[in-house]
Amino acid sequence: MASKSRATVDGVVGSTRPLSGPACQCLAEFFGEEFRKHHQCLEQHREYYSEVAIAQAEAALGRILQQMEQLCRRDDACEVVGHLLKQFESVTKLSALSDPRTFH
């Protein structure tokens, strides 16, 4: 049976067959771990950020982690969560810290 399309709240059209069960849980665990890595990076470099910036980042991380399984049920989960990860990456530069090619 073909999946039907539906309009989402943000105007993105997706199918009616989002991820569920083990696939959703696995994706949520993977993405959750990536966000926890960004949180650890913020903690390790806390001295370079203002308290307001840390508080805002931690609040955003908390909301994302609380909603991770719900986000992973979306048809466009990888795109949405990937965009959120890119936003944190622009702040933490985590990939540059863990990429051995960036060290001389």
pLDDT (0 to 100) of residue 51: 93
Q: Cα–Cα distance between 92 and 57 in angstroms, integer?
A: 10
**Closest to 75 in 3D by CA, of 30, 18, 9, 27:** 18
* pTM (2 d.p.): 0.70
Domain extents in the chain: 20-92
DSSP annotation of 50 reads -
Task: Count Cβ atoms within 10 A of the Cβ of residue 25 and give its class: 0-12 exposed, 13-18 middle, 19 or more buried.
Answer: middle
**pLDDT string in tens for the chain (104-residue length):** 444 433 444 444 444 455 566 777 888 999 999 999 999 999 999 999 999 999 999 999 999 999 999 999 898 999 999 999 999 999 898 888 765 554 44
